């Protein structure tokens, strides 16, 4: 939770310095924030609601000039929020690796540009400098009463989360919705996956150091792809490991359905399609757990849908069709 809050805090710094000449309504920024936050989502309904609200906020606008002004301003918001904070975290990674404060050439250029923005930008620059120092020295970083070490794991997870957030914002602030899917390579899991925006990738702490999860939210749908790595445990019975992983995933949601034999593209495994109650809402859950001998790992693919088990099963089939092993 702390990591998500910190990533969102840094991403918000650029948003606070970006200006939109024709001021949209508060609702516009509420919808924008649904895509921006670390656990945000993106789907066609959010896109349509966002642009309907933007158009209402500038009406009457017979010439379309106000709409163009807001559209261009929103592009600036995305450009700034994907620039300065992202370069700050890239610089943090360099600082961590080199054990001295190191800035990317792009960050140096952006700091110079930001200095003309006044006190708000000064605060963003100072915050970034504290981040770089903490990454370089290994000293804890404190911000708004929260203290943490800037580890390489934190840096990588934050960068992945920010890139996913920016991907959602780019889709949202384009007035034309497209059904074209982007291909994302996720080498940590050994897959390529198609989606409207990027999956956020994070290292899992409750298994071992080389297990990763990629996740994406689309309002009433959540997609997760997990690699549980057994490379350091040769001889592991991957079929049994796949079954155990599925049992654990189902049990964590309060269900006790028995895994059924399944498979995918020549891999053996197990599957479950069931219904649970999460946060007081009926939720369909569908999971494929697959033994992957070529990487000595288990691939767990899951969809959660606010609705019936059948809905989650359809969503899982759709997700599996968008995954390519590499």
Summarize pLDDT for 61-71 with one digit per residue, the tens.
777 788 888 88
Q: Which residues of the chain have pLDDT under 70?
A: 1-24, 80-82, 117-120, 206-209
pLDDT at 314: 92
What is the DSSP track for 310-322?
Answer: HHHHHHHHHHHHT
Q: What is d(CA 143, CA 25) in angstroms, rounded to the nearest whole number? A: 30
Q: What is d(CA 1, CA 52) in angstroms, rounded to the nearest whole number? A: 33
Angle of the 84-98 helix axis to the 119-137 helix axis, nearest 10: 20
Closest by CA to 159, choosing from 73, 224, 94, is 94
Residue identified by tokens 């989650």 is: 312
pLDDT at 1: 34
Q: Parallel, antiparallel, or unpaired: how do β-strands 267-278 and 141-143 relate?
A: unpaired
pLDDT at 300: 96
| CATH, domain 180-325, list 1.10.287.990, 3.40.50.300, 3.40.1000.10, 3.40.718.10 | 3.40.1000.10
pLDDT at 193: 96
pLDDT at 219: 79
Q: What is d(CA 127, CA 111) in angstroms, rounded to the nearest whole number? A: 12
Residue ranges per structural domain of the chain: 2-155, 180-325
Sheet of 200-203: strand order equals: 200-203, 212-218, 221-229, 297-306, 281-292, 267-278, 260-264
pLDDT at 13: 34
C-alpha distances in Å from residue 240, one per residue of 149, 198, 278, 288, 297:
37, 31, 27, 14, 12
pLDDT at 208: 53
pLDDT at 4: 41
In 3-state terms, the chain is what percent helix, strand and coil (to 5)?
Answer: 50, 25, 30
C-alpha distances in Å from residue 168, one per residue of 20, 165, 171, 220, 294:
19, 5, 5, 16, 33
Are 84 and 69 spatial neighbours (Cβ–Cβ below 8 Å)? Answer: no
């Amino acid at each position: 939770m702390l990591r998500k809050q910190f990533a969102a805090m840094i991403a918000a710094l650029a948003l606070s310095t970006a200006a939109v000449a024709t001021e949209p309504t508060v609702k516009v920024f509420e919808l924008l924030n649904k895509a921006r936050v670390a656990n945000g989502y993106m789907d066609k309904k959010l896109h349509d609601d966002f642009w309907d609200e933007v158009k209402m906020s500038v009406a009457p606008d017979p010439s379309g000039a106000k709409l163009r002004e807001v559209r261009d301003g929103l592009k600036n918001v995305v450009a700034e929020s994907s620039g300065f904070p992202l370069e700050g975290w890239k610089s943090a990674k360099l600082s961590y690796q080199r054990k001295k404060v190191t800035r990317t050439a792009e960050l140096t250029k952006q700091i110079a540009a930001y200095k003309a923005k006044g006190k708000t930008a000064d605060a963003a620059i100072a915050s970034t400098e504290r981040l770089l120092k903490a990454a370089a020295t290994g000293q804890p970083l404190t911000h708004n009463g929260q203290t943490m070490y800037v580890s390489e794991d934190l840096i990588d997870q934050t960068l992945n989360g920010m890139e996913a957030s920016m991907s959602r914002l780019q889709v949202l602030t384009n007035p034309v919705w497209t059904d074209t899917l982007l291909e994302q390579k996720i080498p940590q899991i050994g897959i390529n996956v198609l989606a409207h925006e990027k999956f956020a990738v994070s290292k899992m702490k409750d298994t071992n150091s080389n297990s990763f999860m990629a996740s994406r939210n689309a309002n009433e749908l959540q997609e997760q792809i997990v690699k549980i790595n057994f490379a350091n445990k040769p001889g592991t019975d991957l079929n049994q490991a796949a079954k155990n992983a599925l049992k654990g995933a189902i049990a964590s949601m309060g269900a006790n359905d028995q895994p059924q034999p399944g498979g995918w593209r020549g891999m053996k495994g197990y599957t479950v399609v069931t219904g649970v109650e999460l946060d007081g809402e009926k939720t369909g859950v569908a999971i494929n757990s697959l033994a992957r001998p070529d990487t000595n790992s288990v691939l767990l693919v899951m969809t959660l849908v606010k609705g019936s088990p059948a809905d989650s099963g359809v969503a899982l089939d759709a997700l599996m069709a968008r995954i390519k092993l590499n």
